[in-house]
Amino acid sequence: MSAHRTVATARRVLAQLRHDPRTIALLLVVPAMLMTLLAWILDDANWQRYAPGLLGIFPMLVMFLVTSVATLRERTSGTLERLLSMPMSKADFVFGYALAFGLLAIVQAIIVGGLCFVALGLTMRGPTSLVLMVAVLDGLLGTALGLFVSAFAQTEFQAVQFMPVALLPQFLLCGLIVPTDDLPSVLRFLSALLPLTYAFDAMQKLAQNEVVSSGFWVDVAILVAMALALLTAGTATLRRRTR
Amino acid sequence: MNDHAVQLTNVVVNRNGILALDDVSVGIGFGRITGLLGPSGSGKSTLMRAIVGVQIVASGSVTVLGLPAGAPELRSRVGYVTQAPSVYRDLTVRENLSYFRNILGTRNADVDRVLEAVDLTSVQSQMVKTLSGGQEGRVSLATALLGKPELLILDEPTVGLDPVLRRDLWALFHTLADSGITILISSHVMDEASRCHDLILMRDGKLLAQGTERELLLQTSTDDIESAFLHLVDGHT
C-alpha cells in the first residue's frame, strides 16, 4: 500500500464529484432538508429524542449509495481492471475511496449538525467534535458496506436495490424505533451484530451525558473495528484475475 | 525461446463452459508488431487478457518478458488497452491521464508527451464523455503509453476511426516498435494485416496459423489474408 497512490485515488474521486455538482447538492442538501422537516413535524421532546440518532444514520445511508454505485461503475467500465493491472494495491483503491468519502462525510456532518444545533434547537450535552467523529465513522461504515455490496450487483439498478436490504433492517433494529433492550431476545442478538446499533447508541450517549462515558468509547471502538473489517472484506471482493 | 517477448504454451481457458482458448501455443517476437486476427468471438481478447494476467487460465503457461503473466513486476512494464475504453468518462482527458500517471509514478511531462502522441492536446480540458468514440478510445490508448511500457497489448484500437487517423496511429505504432517496444494488436479487419510484421490467425479459440503475411500467403497460395484465412479454415474442417 502507498500513501501516494491512496491520496491520488481520493483526489481523483473528489474530482469526479466536483464535475457533478448535482450529486454534491443532493448529498449535502437532502439530509439537511429531511432534518428540517422532522423538526417541523415533531414536538420538542420527540425532536430531542429522535434527532441525535438520525444524525448518525444519514451519513451511512448516503455514503452507502454513493460508494456502491461508484465502485460498481469501476468494476463494469474496466477502470478497476486497468488500475489493478498497474502498480496499484487493492488497499490503495479501497482506502482512496474511504478517504474521499470520509472527507465528504465530514462536510455533510458539519452542515447537517450545524443546522440542527444552530437553527433547529437541538441540544446535545456531549462535545460537538465527538458528534462529528461518530458521523464520519458512520459514513465510513456506509462506504465499506457499499463497496462490499457492489461486488454482488451486476447493474446500478441492483446496487441501488441493495440499499433497503443492507440498511433498512439496521434502521429498524438500531434502537431508534424500539429501544434495543425491549426487543425480543433473537432480535436483540441480531441488533448487537449490526453497526448502526452502535452508531445510534453512541449518538444517544452524546445527547444525554455531558461527561463522555467509557460506554461511548466502547461503541466507538466497535464501530472502528467493524468499519475496518468491512473495508477488508470489500478489498477481498476486488479481483485482479477473473474468468 | 529467448527471442520471444511473450510465450504461450498449451494455454486453455474456460469461460462460462466454453473453450475460449483451446490449447494455444504461440510466441511473440521482441520489438515487432504482431497482428492478432480473427472474427469476433475467436478468442482474441481472451488471449490478450491471458497475456496481461487478468484472465484465469485453466492450464498451460504464459510467460511475459521472462516472467509469469500477471507478475507484480510486470505491472509497470505492460500497457493494456481494452476494446471498450476504460477511462473515467466524468473526468477531463488531462485529469484521467494525470491520475494514471500518478499511479504509475512517472513524471508530469509524461502527460503532455502521450497527449501529443495520440493527437488529443487540443481537447485535453474536455470531459471524456463529450468526446467522440474514436477520441475516447485514444484517451484509453494514451493511458497505456504512460511510463515506459516494454509491451503494448492493444485490443482493436483502430476500430471505427477515420482513415487519416488510422494511418497516423499505425505510424505511431511503428515509431514505438522502432524504439524497441513489442506490440500485440488485435483486429477483425483483415486488411490491417499488411501493416504488421507478424500475424497470428485465430478462429473458435484455436490457433489457425502464425507467421509473416508473406509466409502465410505462400503457404496457402493466396493473394490476400482474407483468402488465406478461408483457405486455412477449409483445411481445418
Beta bridge partners of B12: B59
Identify the structural domains of chain B with CATH numbers, from first to last: 4-77+153-236 (3.40.50.300), 88-148 (no CATH)
Per-residue pLDDT of A120-151, as tens digits, reads 999 999 998 999 899 889 988 998 899 888 88
Provide the b/e sequence for A203-238 (b: ≥16 CB within 10 Å): bbbbbeeeeeeeebeebbebbeebbeebbeebbebb
Cβ of B84 within 8 Å of Cβ of A78? The answer is: yes
What is the reported pLDDT for B2? 57
C-alpha cell at B222: 493466396
Between the CA of residue A211 and those of A83, A231, B176, what are the distances in Å? 47, 31, 68
Comparing C-alpha atoms, which of B173, B99, B16 is closest to residue A15? B99
- The answer, yes or no, to whether residue B1 has pLDDT greater than 50, is no
Substitution target in B21, B99, B127, B140 with the highest count of A β-carbons within 10 Å is B99
Residues of chain B contacting residue A3, judged by C-beta atoms under 8 Å apart: none
Domain map of chain A by residue range?
A: 3-236
DSSP state of B128: G
Cα distance between residue A138 and residue A98, in whole Å? 11
User: What are the backbone angles phi and psi of residue B204, rounded to the nearest 5°?
Assistant: 50, 40
Cβ of B14 within 8 Å of Cβ of A82? The answer is: no
User: Considering CB atoms only, which of A8, A85, A87 is closest to B80?
Assistant: A85
Can you tell me the mean pLDDT for B103-123?
93
Can you tell me the mean pLDDT for A211-224?
93
pLDDT above 70 as % of chain B: 98
C-alpha cell at A2: 502507498
Can you tell me the mean pLDDT for A223-228?
92
Candidate from A238-242, B5-9, B50-54 with smallest mean pLDDT: A238-242
Contacts of B174 (CB under 8 A, 6+ apart): B33, B195
What is the reported pLDDT for B24? 93
pLDDT above 90 as % of chain A: 47
Cα distance between residue A135 and residue A132, in whole Å? 5
Confidence of residue B80 (pLDDT cuts 50, 70, 90): very high
Confidence of residue B236 (pLDDT cuts 50, 70, 90): low
Instruction: Give A7→chain B minimum CA distance, Å.
Output: 10
Cα distance between residue B40 and residue B78, in whole Å? 24
Mean pLDDT of chain A: 90
Per-residue pLDDT of B28-70, as tens digits, reads 999 999 999 998 889 999 999 999 999 999 999 999 999 999 8
- Pairing mode of beta strands B67-68, B33-37: unpaired
- Give the CA angle between residues A27, A31, A214 to the nearest 5°: 105
- Pairing mode of beta strands B18-29, B33-37: unpaired
Comparing C-alpha atoms, which of A78, A2, A239, A87 is closest to residue B75? A87
What is the reported pLDDT for A46? 92
Per-residue pLDDT of B156-186, as tens digits, reads 888 777 888 888 889 999 999 999 999 999 9
Substitution target in A4, A20, A85, A239 with the highest count of B β-carbons within 10 Å is A85
Contacts of B44 (CB under 8 A, 6+ apart): B36, B37, B38, B155, B186, B188, B202
Q: Does B70 touch chain A (CB under 8 A)?
A: yes
Comparing C-alpha atoms, which of A102, A84, A95 is closest to residue A239? A84
What is the reported pLDDT for A148? 85
- The answer, yes or no, to whether residue A5 has pLDDT greater than 60, is yes
Beta bridge partners of B185: B35, B154
Confidence of residue B17 (pLDDT cuts 50, 70, 90): confident
